[in-house]
Amino acid sequence: MASNSDSIYYVLSKLKKHPELIISQHPQYSNAIVITFNDQMKVADSEFYFPKNKLLVNRLAPSFVAKNGDLLDYFFQLTGQSNPGYHDVWVTTSHVTKAQQYLIDLSYE
């Protein structure tokens, strides 16, 4: 199911505006970036979008990708690649309770 999530938009926007909130970021492959941030950040529907110690994988809706291209391009640049050229974006999220962190992985295809 494709997602058009306000919660995911909020998280990405917040992390872009406040990169100091990012605990770690790792390019993973040439088309993906993994970011962790403190689980004290308020996120709407966090129990759904960031399940405890489980992964949730969701494809962002094409309308979300089209509408938020600048935001998604910002995070794409963190992969170290220069030519976005993606059509789909998959988002994987989790709440890593032992580390007290949320994890978000953006994979661009």
- pLDDT tens track for 12-71: 999 999 999 999 998 878 899 999 999 999 999 999 999 999 999 999 999 999 999 999
Classify residue 91 by burial, with Cβ atoms within 10 Å: 0-12, 13-18, 19+: buried
Alpha carbons 45 and 6: distance in angstroms, whole number: 10
Q: Model confidence at 77, in pLDDT bands (50, 70, 90)?
A: very high
Global model pTM greater than 0.95: no
Under a CB-based contact definition with an 8 Å cutoff, are residues 93 and 50 in contact? yes
Q: Model confidence at 82, in pLDDT bands (50, 70, 90)?
A: confident
pLDDT computed for residue 4 by the predictor: 67
Alpha carbons 10 and 54: distance in angstroms, whole number: 21
